[in-house]
């Protein structure tokens, strides 16, 4: 029995790796993804062009504008001349924010009133807009504080000290790499498993497999193993690159990580098998992959924290393997998470995997009889 399974696995690997085009198409994507993802997928906001309209000629407004110039966040500043220029500037997305200082600004400040600085943000990019507004608020607050320090007024003797745990410098790559290890190994594993059966079926060779001495269980194992191996290799490759090339820390236990990665790709290949059991052509298999993958990525907590999703959506996240793996990856890489907590996130993945493989097996069985 082992013999038969091994030769089927060998055949699967040959099918994937035999010609150079398909070898490249398996090996290149992870590298490209890693390069582009880690560089591009940053929610940091910097170098965003902004506009400044200063209609005031007093020294305070010039001082304030200088401060905008001085921060590293705003490297491209466009000076607007009139109020009428604001609308086209914003409409055509020449910048994401306009800071507008009116004529009364320094006069108001001199008279001891409050000087208003109007900040107009582009709601088309709500994330960027919020972060820019945060930067602007801190520039203005700093100005206020320093002014207050000049005037001899009793100050508020309290101050906030921001600190970041697990990622002290708040580097984006530290967040990206662990998430990518999970997401990209899922992608690789899914592509291999979903396409393999669908292709056999489309080419008509699946029937030949069925009449061979292999029992359905052996066929399933033979189809699952290559996906698991390729998914794990991709995950480990990304991990090694992350650790040595991007210097991401690894605080947890490597053995536990291997176990989680295995359980994760196991559950994903279970899902992949199920998808390919349902589909007759490769096109259908591909669509099925997307129907599974898009919600997985969106609901896993990759882009937005799960607790901020609508309440009715949150229970759905429990059946998404990626959710558990993202937690484990971030935990093991950055947080040195307690092994017990990690184990608590491993068993649901195992459950999902078994459930799907059994389901796929039943489908095949019905087809044979």
Partner 1 sequence: MDLDHLRIGLVMEETSPDARSLAQSFTDSRYFDVKVVRDRRELSEDMAKGNIRGFVVIPSYFSDFRNRPNKIAPIQVIADGSETNTANFVQFYAQGAFAQWLQEEAISSGLKGLPQIRMVSRVWYNEQLESRYFLLSGALAIIMTLIGTLLTALVISREWERGTMESMLSTPMTRGELIIGKVIPYFFLGLFSMAICVVISVLFYGLPFRGGYFVLLLVSSVFLFCSMGLGLMISTLAKQQMIAYQVALVTGFLPAYILSGFLFEIYSMPEWIQGITFLIPARYFVQSLQTLFLVGNVWPVILWDIGFMILIGFVFFAITVHKTVKRLE
Nearer to partner 1, 207 or 338 (CB): 338
Q: How far is CA 118 from the centre of its chain?
A: 34
What residues contact residue 357 under an 8 Å CB cut-off, 6+ apart?
220, 224, 270, 273, 274
Least CB distance from residue 1 to partner 1, whole Å? Answer: 29
Among 57, 147, 212, 365, binds partner 1 (CB under 8 A): 147
| Beta-carbon-side half-sphere exposure of residue 286 (alpha carbons within 13 Å) | 4
Indicate the residue among 208 and 283 with the shorter CB distance to partner 1: 283
Residues near partner 1 (CB under 8 A), total: 112
Looking only at the bridges linking them, the beta strands covering 97-101 and 77-80 are unpaired
Closest CA to 165 of 338, 336, 335, 341: 335
Residues 333-352 that bind partner 1 (CB under 8 A): 334-335, 337-338, 341
Q: Is 172 in the site for partner 1 (CB under 8 A)?
A: yes
The yes or no reply on residue 160 touching partner 1 (CB under 8 A) is: yes
Site string for partner 1, 68-107 (x = CB under 8 A): --------------------x-xxxx--------------
CB 355 → partner 1: shortest distance, Å? 25
187 part of the interface to partner 1, by CB under 8 A: yes
d(Cα 113, Cα 318) in Å, to the nearest integer? 54
Judged by CB under 8 A, the stretch of 171-179, 223-231, 252-260, 349-357 that binds partner 1 is 171-179
CA distances (Å), 101 to each of 69, 76, 82, 220, in order?
15, 18, 11, 69
Cα–Cα distance between 229 and 222 in angstroms, integer?
11
Of residues 196 through 215, those in contact with partner 1 by CB under 8 A are: 199, 202-203
Q: Which of residues 228 and 329 has its CB atom nearest to partner 1 in the complex?
A: 329
Please name the helix (run of DSSP H) or strand (run of DSSP E) that holds residue 295, with its range, or none: helix 282-299
Indicate which single residue of 65, 125, 217, 243 sits in contact with partner 1 (rule: CB under 8 A): 125
Q: Which is nearer to partner 1, 32 or 211 (CB)?
A: 32
| Site map 241..280 versus partner 1, x via CB under 8 A | ----------------------------------------
CA distance 179 to 327: 9
Q: How many CB atoms lie within 10 A of CB 138?
A: 12
| Closest separation in Å from C-beta 264 to partner 1 | 18
Quick one: tokens of 242? 């992350």
């Amino acid at each position: 029995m082992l013999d038969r399974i091994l030769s089927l696995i060998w055949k699967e690997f040959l099918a994937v790796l035999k010609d150079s085009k398909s070898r490249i198409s398996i090996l290149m994507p992870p590298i490209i993804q890693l390069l582009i993802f880690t560089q591009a997928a940053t929610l940091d906001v910097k170098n965003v062009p902004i506009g400044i309209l200063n209609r005031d000629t007093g020294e305070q407004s010039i001082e304030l504008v200088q401060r905008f110039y001085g921060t590293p966040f705003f490297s491209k500043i466009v000076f607007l001349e009139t109020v009428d220029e604001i609308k086209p500037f914003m409409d055509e997305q020449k910048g994401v924010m306009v800071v507008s200082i009116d004529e009364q600004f320094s006069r108001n400040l001199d008279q001891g009133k409050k000087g208003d600085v109007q900040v107009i943000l582009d709601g088309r990019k709500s994330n960027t807009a919020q972060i820019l507004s945060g930067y602007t608020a801190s520039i203005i607050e700093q100005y206020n504080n320093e002014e207050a320090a000049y005037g001899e007024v009793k100050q508020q003797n309290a101050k906030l000290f921001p600190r970041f745990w697990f990622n002290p410098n708040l580097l984006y790559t530290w967040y990206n790499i662990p998430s990518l290890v999970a997401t990209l190994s899922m992608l690789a594993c899914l592509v291999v498993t979903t396409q393999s059966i669908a292709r056999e079926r489309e080419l008509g060779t699946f029937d030949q497999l069925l009449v061979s001495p292999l029992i359905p269980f052996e066929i399933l194992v033979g189809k699952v193993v290559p996906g698991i191996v390729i998914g794990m290799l991709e995950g480990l490759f990304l991990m090694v690159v992350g650790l040595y090339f991007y210097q991401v820390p690894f605080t947890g236990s490597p053995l536990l990580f291997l176990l989680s990665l295995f359980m994760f790709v196991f559950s994903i290949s279970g899902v992949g098998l199920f998808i390919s059991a349902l589909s007759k052509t490769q096109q259908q298999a591909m669509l099925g992959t997307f129907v599974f993958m898009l919600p997985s990525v969106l609901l896993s907590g990759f882009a937005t924290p799960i607790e901020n999703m609508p309440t009715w959506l949150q229970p759905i996240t429990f059946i998404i393997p990626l959710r558990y793996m993202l937690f484990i990856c971030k935990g093991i890489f950055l947080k040195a998470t307690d092994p017990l907590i990690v184990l608590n996130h491993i068993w649901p993945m195992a459950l999902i995997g078994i459930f799907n493989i059994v389901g796929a097996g039943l489908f095949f069985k019905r087809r044979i009889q």
